[in-house]
Amino acid sequence: MEKIIGYTIGETRTDELTFLAKHPPEVGDYVMISYDGIDVLGMVESTIQGNMVLSEILSIEDLEKIREFDDESSYYIIGKIKVLGDIKELKIPKIPPKPGTPIYKADNETLKNIFSNSHITIGKLATRDIEVSLDVNKLCSRHLAILAMTGMGKSNTVAVLMEELNKIGATILVFDMHGEYRNIESYNFPLRKHVIEPKINIFHISDSDLADLAGVDAQATKQRPYIRKAIKNIKEQYQEKDFNSAEDYINAIIGELEKFMEDDNYKKDKDSIQTAIFRLEDLLQFKKDLIKIHYNPINEIKEHHINILPLESLDENSVDIIVSYFTKEILNDRKRAILENGRDGAKPIFLIFEEAHLIVPQNRKTRAKHYISRIAREGRKFGVGLCLVSQRPKTLDAEALSQCSNLIISKLIEPNDQKHVQHASENLSEDLIKQLTSLNIGEAIIIGPCIKIPAIVKINKFNGHYGGEDIDFIKFWKEKMEKSIKITKEEKEFYYDTSGGLE
């Protein structure tokens, strides 16, 4: 048994204890309480340190005089422990310990048995040199949210997670909003990756989606009905196989609109029809690389690879259409495989949505929101896992977030972000929420079915490169200055003296 670090005090509970300590334990570290024949594990959630002698002193002069005779015995440390359960089954005990029960530091072997025996390694405990691994089945089937302020390590966490999943043959699709992972490389492991250029089969999307893709205003109450009528006429006459290209299909729709312009019944709306034609012509000119026919996105996904769909070149509306199109097709494909072939037909896939607050927002509708919410609710039955990544949790749809039973949360300072996350997760206690402001870069709280008990973890540093690292401003400015500006001897001496030399 480890040394005694303190004792329970006050009125004890089965789920939470107050303790008086000899020395301040680290917040996030683990303790053991033995009573009634059971060993119970707990996490230190908060501590405060006080001094009985100094508590009533309000004068600086008096304080300075008293400190000269100060000794350690006048200080006290009080803290809170979240009870995690007995060490065998991690079940909360039915009876609380008595006040005055000794509290021990949990031994490393016990913690290794709890944290280090699962499928993929994500990091180490922030307070111990003990690896933390995650249960992949529960991670993917119960969904995941990775949340943090900008610059606190979200992209690094995603990269580490993808590398670990790639090692075990996972099929991953990353909706890469900023093109960060297009060129991802690991120095430890040759990643199996595949870049999918964003495309959409315009024969299979709705007339409303096609109008949106063409830039037809949502309030254009004449243009849209004419486009809808033209598409209906085309699809009554032709099938997809009758067109050689997306351009042929769009030109056929334009041809129908031109017929409307010649029809006396529609002459009053001639200007609106002409504008609709202009919009479709713009679609052919400016988005020709995005639109396809005879295209199935499922055929683009490579099994057992990190599939990367870079979206940085698209506007917000096009991103919404592409994301909703891919998610809809993936969910339908996985459903069909299960329904036709049973469990043996399952093709598990893990979908990662970067900047999730943009495509699954809290206070407005998007196409992608509908299908991602469906995956959040029913995806696990068909082998579709979900990961939402965001630095703005308060603007992320609460329903979708609540379906993510697993959370990896790095530093969050904004109170509304904290409240939004806590509201979505019943496992995130008030004391753990308070720790979110004090986490260091690369540290995160992990909770959910993927890990046996909550942990504050130092996430592994991804040993490789991707596009999400911060730009080294000083390096680039210095290098450019050396090349473009003639630096005097005095200036060079100054720069070397103040910054260690120009690189």
Residues 290/199, Cβ–Cβ less than 8 Å: yes
Complete DSSP assignment for 180-230: TTTT-EESSS---EEE----EETTSS-HHHHHHHTT--TT-TTHHHHHHHH
- Smallest CA-to-CA distance from 20 within 92, 107, 110, 81 is with 81
**Quick one: 190 and 339 in the same domain?**
yes
Residue where the block lists tokens 């339908």: 332
Contacts of 454 (CB under 8 A, 6+ apart): 43, 82, 84, 427, 432, 445, 446, 447
Cα gap 9→498, rounded to integer Å = 55
- pLDDT score, position 414: 78
Residues 409 and 358 in one domain: yes
Q: What is the DSSP string of 386-412?
A: EEEEES-GGGB-HHHHHT--EEEE---
Q: How many domains does the chain have?
A: 3
Can you give the pLDDT at residue 502? Answer: 47
pLDDT at 474: 73
Whether 41 and 59 have beta carbons less than 8 Å apart is answered as no
Identify whether 137 is part of a domain: yes
pLDDT of residue 460: 96
| Per-residue model confidence (pLDDT) at position 503 | 42
User: Quick one: CA dihedral 450, 456, 458, 464, positive or negative?
Assistant: positive
> Domain range holding 131?
120-199+296-465
- Same domain flag for 391 and 460: yes
Is the C-alpha dihedral spanning 197, 154, 169, 342 positive or negative?
negative
Check whether residue 51 and residue 81 sit in a common domain.
yes
Question: Which of 366, 349, 362 is CA-nearest to residue 390?
Answer: 362
> Residue 425 is encoded by which pair of tokens?
């997760």
Q: Are residues 300 and 283 in the same domain?
A: no
Q: Evaluate whether residue 503 is within a structural domain.
A: no
> Which residue among 245, 261, 291 closes a domain?
291
* Within a domain: 422: yes
153: left (phi over 0), alpha (psi -120 to 50) or beta: left
Question: How far, in Å, CA of 165 to CA of 160, rounded?
Answer: 9
Amino acid at 50: G
Do residues 339 and 449 share a domain? yes
d(CA 76, CA 351): 49
| 495 inside domain | no
Same-domain status, 330 and 412:
yes
List the one residue out of 30, 2, 166, 27 whose CA is nearest residue 452.
30
Q: Encode 58-86: b = buried (16+ Cβ within 10 Å), e = exposed.
A: eeeeeeeeeeeeeeeeeeebbbbbbbbbe
Say whether both 342 and 453 belong to one domain: yes
Name 86's bridge partners: 40
Q: CA 441 to CA 428: how far, in whole Å?
A: 20
> Is 498 domain-assigned?
no
Q: Which residues contact 220 (CB under 8 A, 6 or more apart)?
A: 211, 272, 275, 276
Q: Cβ contacts of residue 240 below 8 Å, gap of 6+?
A: 203, 204, 293, 294
Q: At a CB cut-off of 8 Å and minimum separation 6, what does 187 contact?
A: 463, 464
> Which of 54, 84, 106 is the endpoint of a domain?
106
Last residue of a domain, one of 274, 291, 308: 291
Tell me: do 349 and 364 sit in the same domain: yes
Block mean pLDDT (10 aa), the chain, length 503: 86 93 87 93 89 65 64 77 91 93 94 94 95 96 90 89 96 95 93 95 93 89 92 95 95 94 86 94 92 94 96 91 94 90 87 94 89 90 94 88 90 79 68 74 91 92 82 72 67 60 46
Residues 368 and 452 placed together within one structural domain of the fold: yes
Tell me what pLDDT residue 333 has. 93
- For residue 54, is it within any domain? yes
My answer on whether 94 and 150 are in the same domain is: no
Secondary structure string (H, E, C) spanning 280-344: HHHHHHHCCCCEECCCCHHHHCCCCCEEEEECCCCCHHHHHHHHHHHHHHHHHHHHHHHHHHHHH
The pLDDT of residue 2 is 72
Looking at residue 175, its pLDDT comes to: 97
How many CB atoms sit inside 10 A of residue 1's CB? 10
Residue 257's SS3 state is helix
Whether 318 is covered by a domain: the verdict is yes
- pTM summary value: 0.86
Amino acid letter for position 378: E
Q: How far apart are CA 164 and CA 445, in angstroms?
A: 19
Residue 267 phi, psi dihedral angles, 5° rounding: -65, -30
Same domain, 355 and 441: yes
Residue 113 inside a domain? The answer is: no
Cα(297)–Cα(300) distance, integer angstroms? 5
Spatial distance between the Cα atoms of 340 and 349, rounded to a whole number of angstroms = 18
Chain centre distance of CA 216: 33
| CATH code of residue 171 | 3.40.50.300
The pLDDT score that the predictor gives to residue 344 is 79
Residue with tokens 């909550």: 454
